[in-house]
Every structure is written in structure tokens, then in C-alpha cells.
């Protein structure tokens, strides 16, 4: 008799408890999917249709239920108290599992530079250099380069010894400056070359096809060359313009295999005739005359240029005495200039 009464008592006690304390239980047909890394919950249950008036309250109760479930999941995570026993309760979130697209494409590894390739071949490894160097003159540890470097500021050099084999009248300071400029330019060129080596023509293709005409053309060209094999080439599209004639000098000009047989015959005979003739191929007299003519032409051109320069300088000099000379020079220069374009037009 006592057993059922105890059960009754317990049941009644539970009921009273449930009434007093608000419950955290939520009933759902389908379980929700959670992604706690993103604080995300996905509810697959079809929502109950409601009229306009009750829609807001329906939505709110649905939201409340879903939020309750999500919070229950979050409270189940391993939590600890930050900053000791009195700090706020902090839960460790897992990695977000919902896959979202990236902002930018994956980073590509940089292709090795020319030096790096060589070093890898030879097995040369990088030696770590010390940050500071002992400066004997200042009796201090100074930087290797930069502000306050060991060996003094190179811009403040007031004495440069002329090296043994150099011209005594050469400006060593200017030479130093120009050498530095050359080094900087060479380094820049090599850096750009390394970058250019890494950038292949097909790599710059944009995923959505927003491409400049030139880039697309280049990519198409590369594709056409890559798909060619054993003399079989990709056919041109109906409206595509014909292939541009292959460029190349005298030596890259290839005749078709079975072309003009008569022309080939005549060419071969010409060749044989040249081989068998007793005359030397170089006509010495003709060559010498040609050279003399060229030299004369050069001398004449230089003379004209000098006169023109003098005329220009004459014009710039201030004032009177040389005025007439200047005018003459200027006139001659103007004449030459007029001749120049006319000459070009004729040719």
C-alpha cells in the first residue's frame, strides 16, 4: 500500500516542480542541425502556417524554441572560468563546420628565383649573419648596414684612393655613384625577371571571365600552341581572323615541303654554280668602294651636325656681337630641318 502512495507523492511533487520552475524542454519533430563554431542552428521542420494577426507571435515562439535548443547545445560545451574563479564563464567553441566560400583564392607558392634554383642544385645553404659587427675605429658593436653602420656613413666619404690600375683623371666619386646606380638597376631587372618567370600567361585568367581583350588573346594563343602536336593544329573558328603571317628574318623563313618545284630547282642550280665557280665570292673592289662611300657620307653628316650645334649655341648667347653668326647658323639649321622631313618623305 505504501508503494503506490509514494509513487503518487513523487508524481505530484514533480508536477508542482514543473509548474513552479520554467521548463527548458522543447519538442520538435525533426532534430535541429547545429554548427556551434558559427553559433548556427538549422531547423528543417516546415513552419506552421499562420494568419497575419498571429504571425508575429508564432514567429516569436518558434524563435524562442529554436534559441532554447541552440543555447542548450552551447551550454553543453566544455566551459571554464576565465580570469580565475570570479571571472565570466567562457565556452570553448569548436571549429565552424558549415562550409562557406573563401574571400580570395588559395595563396600560390612563389616559384624559386634563378639563384634559389642554382643554390638548390649546388646544395648551398643560407648562412645566418650576425646582426652586429665589431667596428674597430669606433670600438663598438655597430650594425652591419643602415643607420650608424660599422665603417662609417658612405655618403660622408671625403677621400677615395685612386686604385692602382685606374686613370688618375677619372672622378672616383662619380664612378662610385654610377656603379651603385648600375647595381641597383641590375638588381631591379633581375627581380622583375624573376617575377615574370613566375607569371605564366594562363595564370592570370579571371574566374568570372572579366578579361581584357589582350589577355584573352594571349591565353588563346598559348592554348593553340599547347594543343598543337605533330603538325596537327587547332582549326580556326569561323569568324576568327586568319593567323598572322609567321614573323622571322631571313633564316626563319620556311618554305612548304612540296611547293614550287621549278623555283627549288633553280635555287639549287644557282648554289651549285656558286660552289663550282673559280671567282671568289667576295668582290674586293666593290666592297672597298662601298666602304669608302659610307665613310664619306658619315663625314658629311657629322659636319652638318656640328654646324647646326654651333648655330644653336650662337642663338642662345646673349646679345649683340655674335648676332649675325647666330642668325646664319639658325637659318642653316632651319634649312637642314626642312630638308630632313622632305628627304624622309621622298624615301
List 1, 89, 121, 275, residue binding other proteins (CB under 8 A): 89
Binding mask 2-21 for other proteins (x = CB under 8 A): ---------------x---x
Position 66 contacts other proteins (CB under 8 A): yes
Which residue shows C-alpha cell 554548427?
35
Q: Which is nearer to other proteins, 31 or 295 (CB)?
A: 31
Position 84 contacts other proteins (CB under 8 A): no
Which residue shows C-alpha cell 664619306?
296
Which residue shows C-alpha cell 667576295?
282
Q: How far apart are CA 336 and CA 344, in angstroms?
A: 12
For the CB of residue 240, give the shortest distance to other proteins in the complex, in Å.
25
For the CB of residue 206, give the shortest distance to other proteins in the complex, in Å.
6
The helix-helix angle for 284-316 and 323-346 (nearest 10°) equals: 140
Task: Select from 34, 31, 24, 6 the least CA-distant residue to 68.
Answer: 24
Q: Judged by CB under 8 A, which stretch of 59-67, 138-146, 256-264, 279-287 contacts other proteins?
A: 59-67
Q: How far apart are CA 215 and CA 199, in angstroms?
A: 13
Q: Which is nearer to other proteins, 131 or 196 (CB)?
A: 196
Q: How far apart are CA 28 and CA 73, in angstroms?
A: 15
For the CB of residue 132, give the shortest distance to other proteins in the complex, in Å.
21
Range 168-207, binding other proteins (CB under 8 A) = 191-192, 195, 198, 206-207
Determine contact, residues 308/332, Cβ cutoff 8 Å. Answer: yes
Q: Which is nearer to other proteins, 6 or 91 (CB)?
A: 91
- How far is residue 92 CA from its own chain's centroid? 41
Determine contact, residues 306/285, Cβ cutoff 8 Å. Answer: no
User: Which residues bind to other proteins, rule: CB under 8 A?
Assistant: 17, 21-24, 37-47, 49, 55, 59-60, 62-64, 66-68, 70-72, 74-75, 79, 82, 88-93, 95-96, 98-110, 191-192, 195, 198, 206-208, 210
Amino acid at each position: 500500500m505504501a508503494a503506490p502512495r509514494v509513487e503518487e507523492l513523487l508524481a505530484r511533487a514533480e508536477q508542482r516542480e514543473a509548474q513552479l520552475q520554467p521548463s527548458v524542454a522543447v519538442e520538435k519533430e525533426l532534430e535541429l542541425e547545429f554548427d556551434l563554431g558559427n553559433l548556427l542552428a538549422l531547423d528543417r521542420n516546415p513552419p506552421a502556417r499562420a494568419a497575419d494577426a498571429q504571425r508575429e507571435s508564432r514567429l516569436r515562439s518558434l524563435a524562442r524554441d529554436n534559441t532554447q535548443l541552440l543555447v542548450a547545445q552551447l551550454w553543453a560545451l566544455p566551459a571554464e572560468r576565465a580570469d580565475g574563479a570570479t571571472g565570466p564563464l567562457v565556452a570553448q567553441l569548436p571549429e565552424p563546420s558549415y562550409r562557406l566560400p573563401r574571400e580570395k583564392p588559395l595563396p600560390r607558392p612563389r616559384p624559386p628565383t634563378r639563384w634559389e634554383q642554382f643554390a638548390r642544385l649546388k646544395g648551398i645553404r643560407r648562412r645566418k649573419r650576425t646582426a652586429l659587427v665589431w667596428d674597430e675605429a669606433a670600438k663598438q658593436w655597430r650594425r652591419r648596414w643602415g643607420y650608424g653602420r660599422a665603417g662609417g656613413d658612405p655618403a660622408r666619404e671625403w677621400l677615395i684612393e685612386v686604385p692602382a690600375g685606374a686613370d688618375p683623371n677619372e672622378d672616383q666619386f662619380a664612378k662610385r655613384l654610377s656603379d651603385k646606380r648600375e647595381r641597383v638597376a641590375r638588381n631591379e631587372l633581375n627581380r622583375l625577371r624573376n617575377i615574370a618567370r613566375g607569371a605564366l600567361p594562363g595564370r592570370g585568367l579571371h574566374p568570372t571571365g572579366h578579361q581584357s581583350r589582350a589577355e584573352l588573346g594571349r591565353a588563346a594563343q598559348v592554348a593553340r600552341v599547347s594543343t598543337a602536336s605533330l603538325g596537327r593544329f587547332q582549326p580556326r573558328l569561323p569568324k576568327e581572323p586568319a593567323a598572322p603571317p609567321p614573323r622571322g628574318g631571313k633564316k626563319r623563313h620556311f618554305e612548304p615541303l612540296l611547293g614550287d618545284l621549278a623555283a627549288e630547282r633553280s635555287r639549287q642550280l644557282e648554289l651549285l654554280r656558286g660552289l663550282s665557280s673559280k671567282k671568289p665570292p667576295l668582290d674586293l673592289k666593290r666592297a672597298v668602294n662601298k666602304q669608302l662611300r659610307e665613310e664619306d657620307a658619315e663625314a658629311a653628316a657629322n659636319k652638318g651636325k656640328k654646324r647646326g650645334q654651333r648655330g644653336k649655341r650662337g642663338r642662345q648667347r646673349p646679345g649683340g656681337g655674335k648676332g649675325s653668326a647666330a642668325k646664319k647658323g639658325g637659318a642653316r639649321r632651319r634649312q637642314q630641318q626642312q630638308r630632313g622631313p622632305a628627304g624622309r618623305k621622298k624615301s
